[in-house]
Amino acid sequence: MFYTLISNNLNTNKMKNSTHLSTRLCTAKLPDSLPLKSILVALAFLLGLLTTVSAQEAEYAKPSWYFGVAGGANFNFYRGTTQTLNSDLTVLSPFHNGDGVGLFVAPMLEYHKYGTMLGFMIQAGLDSREGSFNRVTTYCNCPTDLETDLSYITVEPSLRIAPFKNSFYIYGGPRLAFNTDKTFTYKMGVNPDVPEQVAQELKGDFSNIENTIFSMQVGAGYDIALSSNKNKTQFVLSPFVAFHPYFGQEPRSIESWTVTTVRAGVVLKFGQGRLVTPAKEEVIAPKPLPYTFIVNSPENSTTDPVVRETFPIRNYVFFDEGSTEIPNRYATLKKSEVQNFKEDQLETYVPKNMSGRADRNMTVYYNILNILGDRMQKHPSSKVTLIGASDKGPADGKLMAESVKTYLTGVFAIAPARITVEGRSKPKLPSKQVGGVLELELLSQDDRRVSIETNSPELIMEFSSGPNAPLKPVEYVIVQEAPLSSYLTLEVDGANEAFSTWSVEVKDESNKTQYFGPYTEEKVSIPGEAILGTRAEGDYFIALVGTSPDGSLVREEQKVHMVLWQPSVVKESKRFSIIHEFDDAKAIQMYDKYLTEVVAPKIPTNGHVVINGHTDVIGDAENNNTLSLARANDTKMILQKSLTAMGRSDVTFEVIGNGENNPLFGNKLPEERFYNRSVVIDVFPKK
C-alpha cells in the first residue's frame, strides 16, 4: 500500500513536469556536443599548422608562449548525503557515496621560458562532474539509484613551477566553476516480493544548486616535444594529472554532498620560437680590445729540485646543501674538449673560482670526474657504482649520483649500462658518528657526497681491490717555481666583457697544432715545456680565438720565438700522500700495502724521509696535535717494518705532527677537510 502511494506521487510529479523537463533535458545535451566540435576544429587547425610549417635551415629557440587544447577524463568521487532532490521530490532513503567519469576539455594559454623555474597557465572549458551514487535499498525493500549530469564551465589559472628547470613541471591554483547542468535521474526498482509492481524513473533538476563554485587544484605534467628546433612553430604534447580536493566542492547549498576529482589527460599546445642567429664557423674581425702577448726566454739556474708527486684521488664528489647539481668548483669539460684532456696537464683545467697555480693539488682532485671519464674511455670494460648519500633521504642521494652519471655519459660518452647509481641516507663510512657532539654541521657537510666504487683494476690504486678501494692516484712532476720568463704569458684586457670564453692555438713550423683553454680570466700563463716538449727552442704562431657573447669568433695571431728553460742540476725527490678517516690515527687499511709495496721500495739508499701528519680544524686543537703526530708515527712504523724486512737500516726519518696548523688546504669545504686528514711523505736522496 505504501509503495503504491510513492509510485502515484512519482507518476504525478513526472506528468506535472514532463513538458519543461523534456525541454531542459534537450537543452542540457547541447554542451556535450559543443566541446566535441571545438576539439575537432582545434585539432584540425593545429594539424593544419603542423603540416604547412616547413622545416627551416635556421634554428629557433623554445617558445615562451603556448596556445592549445587540454582534454582528459575527470574521475569523480561523491561523499556526504543527498536526499531532498528538489522541492517536488524527497526520496525515501538518502544517498551517500558514489563515483563516475566525466569529460574535461578546455582551450589553454601558457607562459614559461625554457630553462627557468616559474611560469603560469590558464585553461577554461567544459568540466563534467557527472556520476552515479551507490544503490540504496529503501525500507520497503525497493532498490533506488541516482545519477547526475552535473557539469560546469571552469576557469583555472595556475602557477607553473619546473623544479629542475626541465620538461617536468608542477602546477596549482584556484578553480572558478559556473554551473551549466544540474539534471538528475532517479530510479526506483521493484520489490522482489511484489512482482506485479512497475519500476519508476524520474528526470529533473536538483534544487539549491550553487551557481558558482570556488575551489582549488594541484597537478603535475611533462612536456614532450613533437617538433625540432628547426621549426618556428613548435608543438608539444603534455600528459598531466591533477587533484581537485573536496574543499569548496559542495554542489548544493543544502545537505552535505561533496565532490573530489582526479583528472588525467593531455595538452596539445604550440608556440612560435624566436629565430636564433646561427654561429658562424669563424669570423676574422679586428680585436675589440687590446691583447698583449708576452714571451720571455728562460734563464738557467744552478740547481732546481724536482719533486715527483703521487697524489691520491679521494673517490668522493661533495655536493652543496640543498642542491643535487655538481658544484661549479669541480672542473667540467665540453664534449669538444675531452680529446685534449691530459692528467699531467691539469693546470690547464683550473675551475673558475680557484686562485690558480698555488692550488695545484686541489686542481688534481677537482678534475676527479674528468680523470674518471678519461680512464673509463681508455678501458671500455671498466664499470663503476655511484652511491649518493644525503640526510634528506636516499631519493635525494640518488639524484646527486644521477648528476655525476649524466656528466660522464653526456660529455665522455660512457655507456649508461656501465654506471650504476644508488641512494643512501648516510655514506658507508660516515664522518658524523652516532653520539658525536663536535662540529656536527661540518660533519653533515662531509657526509653529503657521491662515492665512486669500482672493482675494475684499471681504475683503482695498485695493490688494492674491492669496491671501497681508492681511485688510482695521479703522478706528476713539480719543479721549483720557474721564472716568469719560462712561461708563455697572454694578457687579454677586458676579456670578461669581450668574450664568453677564449682559447689559444699554438702552431709550429711543421703546422703541428696544440690547443689550450678555454679560459675566462684576463691573464693566463702556459708552461714553456707544455709547448716545446723536448725541443730546446723553436718558432711558433700563437693564435687567440675568442667567442663573443653573440656566438661569433674573433681571431688574432702573432709569431714568437721560445726557448726551453732547463736547470743545470736536478735533484729529484718523491712525494706520497696517504689519507685518513675522520678522527682516526690509522691510515685507511689498503694504504698499509701501498706503503709496504710501493713507497718503501722507492726510498733510495741512505735516503731521508720526512713525514708530516695533518688534521682538519674540527675538534680540540690539542687533540688534533696528538692525532696528527700519531698518524705520522703510524706511517713511520709501517715503512720501518717494511725496510727491516728488506734487510735495510740505512734510512733516516723525521716525524712532524702539524695538528690543524699549517693546513695543506683550506677548511671551508668538505673536500678540503678530507684532504687535510692526510700524512705527506717526502723522500729525499742522501743529504
pLDDT tens per residue, range 197-234? 888 999 999 999 999 999 999 999 999 999 888 888 99
Q: One-letter amino acid identity for 341?
A: F
Strand-strand pairing, 224-225 and 233-244: antiparallel
145 and 259 together in one domain:
yes
231 and 331 together in one domain:
no
Q: Measuring CA to CA, which residue among 311, 312, 455, 482 is closest to residue 382?
A: 455
Residue 302 domain flag? no
How many domains would you assign to the chain?
4
* pLDDT given for residue 586 in this prediction: 60
Residue 304 domain flag? no
> Is a pLDDT exceeding 80 seen at residue 343?
no
Using 50, 70 and 90 to split pLDDT, how confident is the model at 19?
A: very low
333 and 417 together in one domain:
yes
Residue 300 domain flag? no
129 and 215 together in one domain:
yes
Using 50, 70 and 90 to split pLDDT, how confident is the model at 268?
A: very high
Q: Measuring CA to CA, which residue among 327, 362, 330, 364 is closest to residue 344?
A: 364
For the chain, the residue count is: 687
Q: Across residues 587-612, what is the average pLDDT?
A: 84
Residue 630 domain flag? yes
Using 50, 70 and 90 to split pLDDT, how confident is the model at 259?
A: very high
Using 50, 70 and 90 to split pLDDT, how confident is the model at 13?
A: very low
414 and 461 together in one domain:
yes
* Residue at a domain's end among 471, 496, 522: 471
Using 50, 70 and 90 to split pLDDT, how confident is the model at 425?
A: very high
Q: Across residues 585-611, what is the average pLDDT?
A: 82
Residue 306 domain flag? no
* pLDDT given for residue 132 in this prediction: 97
Q: Across residues 562-579, what is the average pLDDT?
A: 70
Q: One-letter amino acid identity for 235?
A: F
> Is a pLDDT exceeding 50 seen at residue 448?
yes
Percent of the chain surpassing pLDDT 70: 77
347 and 233 together in one domain:
no
Give the model confidence (pLDDT) of 91-145 as tens digits.
989 999 999 999 999 999 999 988 889 999 999 999 999 999 999 998 888 999 9
236 and 370 together in one domain:
no
The residue segments making up the domain with residue 454 are: 316-471
Using 50, 70 and 90 to split pLDDT, how confident is the model at 446?
A: confident
* pLDDT given for residue 592 in this prediction: 80
137 and 250 together in one domain:
yes
Mention every residue, 6+ apart, whose C-beta is less than 8 A from residue 611. 632, 635, 636, 653, 654, 655, 656, 679, 680, 681, 682
Cell numbers standing for residue 155: 576557469
* pLDDT given for residue 31 in this prediction: 41
- 474: number of Cβ within 10 Å: 19
Q: Across residues 36-65, what is the average pLDDT?
A: 58
> Is a pLDDT exceeding 80 seen at residue 685?
yes
DSSP 603: S
Residue 264 domain flag? yes
- Give the residue, 180 or 346, on which the prediction is more confident: 180
* pLDDT given for residue 283 in this prediction: 44
- Give the residue, 221 or 560, on which the prediction is more confident: 221
* pLDDT given for residue 33 in this prediction: 40
Domain CATH number, residue 556: 2.60.40.10
Mention every residue, 6+ apart, whose C-beta is less than 8 A from residue 589. none
Q: Measuring CA to CA, which residue among 320, 424, 425, 407 is closest to residue 368?
A: 407
Helices (H), 355-457: 360-366, 368-378, 394-411, 440-447
323 and 359 together in one domain:
yes
501 and 578 together in one domain:
no
* pLDDT given for residue 219 in this prediction: 97
* pLDDT given for residue 587 in this prediction: 54
102 and 160 together in one domain:
yes
* pLDDT given for residue 2 in this prediction: 35
Using 50, 70 and 90 to split pLDDT, how confident is the model at 668?
A: confident
- 279: number of Cβ within 10 Å: 14
Give the model confidence (pLDDT) of 355-395 as tens digits.
433 356 778 888 889 999 999 999 999 999 999 999 999 99
Q: One-letter amino acid identity for 76?
A: N
* pLDDT given for residue 256 in this prediction: 94
Using 50, 70 and 90 to split pLDDT, how confident is the model at 476?
A: low
> Is a pLDDT exceeding 90 seen at residue 419?
yes
Residues 376, 388: Cα–Cα separation, whole Å = 20
Domain CATH number, residue 339: 3.30.1330.60
Using 50, 70 and 90 to split pLDDT, how confident is the model at 550?
A: confident
Angle at 308 between CA 302 and CA 314, to 5 degrees: 150
> Is a pLDDT exceeding 50 seen at residue 14?
no
Cell numbers standing for residue 185: 535521474
Most confidently predicted of 152-166, 442-456, 547-561: 152-166
Residues 626, 637: Cα–Cα separation, whole Å = 16
* pLDDT given for residue 548 in this prediction: 78
Handedness of CA 417, 423, 427, 428 (dihedral sign): negative
* pLDDT given for residue 291 in this prediction: 45
* pLDDT given for residue 478 in this prediction: 60
Q: Across residues 40-57, what is the average pLDDT?
A: 47
Where is average pLDDT lowest: 339-343, 437-441, 519-523? 437-441
* Residue at a domain's end among 509, 540, 563: 563
270 and 339 together in one domain:
no
Summary mean pLDDT of the chain: 80
Q: Measuring CA to CA, which residue among 136, 135, 187, 194 is closest to residue 4?
A: 194
* Residue at a domain's end among 449, 471, 493: 471
φ, ψ at 470 (rounded to 5°)? -65, 155
* pLDDT given for residue 38 in this prediction: 53
Residue 308 domain flag? no
* pLDDT given for residue 434 in this prediction: 56
Residue 301 domain flag? no
Percent of the chain surpassing pLDDT 90: 41
- Give the residue, 29 or 392, on which the prediction is more confident: 392
